[in-house]
Structure 1
Amino acid sequence: MFKRCPCPPVTDASGRRKNCPRRHGSWYFAHDVRDPSGKRRQLRRGGYDSAADAREALQASMTATGQGVRVQDQRKTSVADYLEGWLERKKDSGRFRPSTALNTHQHLRDYWIPLLGHYRLSDLTVDDVDRALASIRKEGTRPKPLSAESVRRIHATLRAALNDAVRRRVLQYNPAALAELEPTRRPKVRPWEPDELGAFLDHAAAHRLGVLYEVLAMTGLRRGEVVGLRWADIDLGKRVLWVRQSVVQVGYDSVVGTPKTASGEDRRVDLDEATVGSLIAHRLRQDEARAALGEAYEDNDLVFPREDGAYLKPEVVSKTFHKLVDAAGLRKVRLHDLRHGQASIMLAAGVDMTVVSKRLGHSGIRITSDTYTHLLEGVGRQAAEAAAALVPRGSTARPGVDQLG
């Protein structure tokens, strides 16, 4: 360790330079390391206020390099450089969904690079991440502060990027993984009651997209999954469909990709008889429209295309839904609540949670349970009564309600 300051050098009796005793300047450390090519060189760091700080940093640096952390990247790489490189690698991997890539780019551009990009990657601490998160919670990019769930998603982007840095031995630990986050709770969903759903489907039946909303409500498919549904994915005779692709909107473009989760990909969804009947009638009308347009029809084998056969934009499905809801005079809900409504109806009918989870394509049953726990009160009571009815009891051992006190 040594100190640098503007004072002239002072040496001892042996001719060795002495550290300046005055309380100014900065402390530095240096130690030998092996770079990624195996060559020996010296690593230097400075700017510490005291010898104790420099000694602590020296010990941490020697520990990190001893564990294989790449010191060359430590010295030269800024947080901004690493995040931009990480995003490009993710895009090149081919495993990045277009919508995920768009959101990740926005998180880095609007939050992490402006707030943390100027730091050296190796100098980033948990305190730095905590301060950045506090700033994001307070200001965000909207007139009102971001919700805890939005902040959690933004944080997840940084955590994933720095996990990659740890995996590549560029960082010793991930400071984002240790940052403090506000607790969040899944909002209680309030889908339509069966009579409300029936009123909407009756009102929407005459609309060109009426059958699309019926399929959403009766299968629990996601918006992108129903927009990407093809006739080749449906077996009307066996009353079943398979979810094999999904359409997401990236800017003004509709991009075809895989479903949101691995468990949701290529999943089987059984159809009820009424929905199959609606699909048959819908196909007949579609065949007539195709014949009328002739070569102008763009045949993508889609169940719910635009009038000319091209891919329907997902946002059009949502906007049309809200217009139909207003025209029907019904309680306002989101399009996604049709999916929640399917889960609600199935749970009320006593369908097992595992079956509901697989039908919806959730990545795990915990998501299903956390989202719909508040809908299970009546189901749990029915299950308790059904289980008790299986146990034979004598009449004297079963007191009536009026005997309980």
Structure 2
Amino acid sequence: MDMHKPPPPPESSEGCLVTAVRVPVRIVVLVLVVPVRMVWDALAAAGRLLRDTVCRPLGRGLLWLGRAVFVWPFTGLWRYVLVPGGRALGRLAAVLVVVPAVWVHRHVLAPVGRAVARLARGAGAGLAWLCARVVAPVGHGLAWLLKGFGAVLRAAGAGVYTAAARLGRYLVVVPARWLYTWVLAPVGRAVARCVRGAGRLLGLLATGAGLVLYHVVRVLFALPALALWRRLLLPAGRFLAVVARETGQALTHAWRVAGRISRVVGRALGTLFRWIVVEPVRWVYRTVLTPVGHVVRDAVLRPAAEGVRAVGRTARQALATARSTVRQTRAEVRRMLFGGPRRPVAADRREPTGAAARTLGSSTTALTKD
């Protein structure tokens, strides 16, 4: 018993409208898409051929030309002109500017700065002594006098403030409090109650008017618009959505089918081109041009090449003979004019033997010995 049965195919939930739309749409779309796909495949093949045979070699040539015109000259200018020139200018600037500036700083500015710093420290010490011995005691005395004068003014001001505060309380605060408690507060409460009553009345009027407007707008606009949406626009939108979906699926399916058809047609055209053009050209090349080329190579080109090589070998031998004759003649002339070369004198570079040999363990050697 098979325990791994494939699941049953799901039941189609599509209605008759979808099926009725799908078949004619796919037929029409296939008829319209096949020429477009064949043209597209032909243009794609032509584009690939143009890319491989024209654009890539042209791009490589332009790249090489751009390097030869822009990159290599600037690289050579940078390596062989600007960098050595910059190094030379840097060394010249170091010799003409840095070294004199360092010398001036070490032997002129630094001693002058140390002297100015010592003078400033001496002046600061003198000012500090003057401030501690003269200015500080005078300042302390003035501060003590100002504190006493401030205490007197503070006592007088406290009395005046107390009197003014009591006078303002009995002349301003107490009458104002009585006026607020017995006049302004009752009037304000009455006005607030009147305003709240008017607000409630206006709220009731606005609520009634809003309910009336709501029912009018609902009856005149909302219900007709809802009926139009449900009875007309929604079914039409669903139908258009089904048509658009089926059209898209039909375009995808037709594009794939047209690709297969275009591939079959392209292969057929390629086979026909091979049978009509390529195979005859290949047969002519194999049966006619290749034997003729072999005959031309064996009968004409190889003997001509052997003759050219023999002439070259003869010319090289003649040139070598002429060069050796010229060298011998030049040597004989030099020997007759200036004489033969001097023979080198053989020098004895061997170690001394016997008594003249080096001694170990003594202070005398073969070089310092008499």
Larger helix proportion of the pair: 2
> Which category describes the TM-score, using the shorter chain as reference length?
under 0.3
Larger strand proportion of the pair: 1
Report the TM-score when normalising by structure 1: 0.17
Which of 1 and 2 has greater Rg?
2
